[in-house]
Amino acid sequence: MAADSRVLFVVAVVFVLAVLFRWKYVLLFLFAIGATMIVLRFTSGEGSSDIVVDRNMMLFIGGTIVIAIVLIYFLFIRD
């Protein structure tokens, strides 16, 4: 779905409109979806070793925490 050109075009159009009209919540939603997809892509398990699984789990947890901190900052702290 993320590689479909129609989906990428629609997301790009929504992103440009959100920037032009200063739609903060739409931009944060696009950030959250995009960042979550990136974290999931980097943590997709390709090995069966315990070390690889632990590294992927730590990367997933760290990425999710960073996404949550950015969303909390822009939604509740920054006006």
- Mean pLDDT computed over 32-60: 81
Amino acid of residue 38:
I
pTM higher than 0.85 for the full model? Answer: no
Taking the C-alpha atoms of residue 30 and residue 24, their distance in angstroms, rounded to an integer, is 10
Grade residue 48 by pLDDT with cuts at 50, 70 and 90.
Answer: low
> Where residue 78 falls among pLDDT bands split at 50, 70, 90?
confident
Q: What is the pLDDT of residue 43?
A: 83
Q: Residue 21 and residue 48: Cα distance in Å, rounded?
A: 47
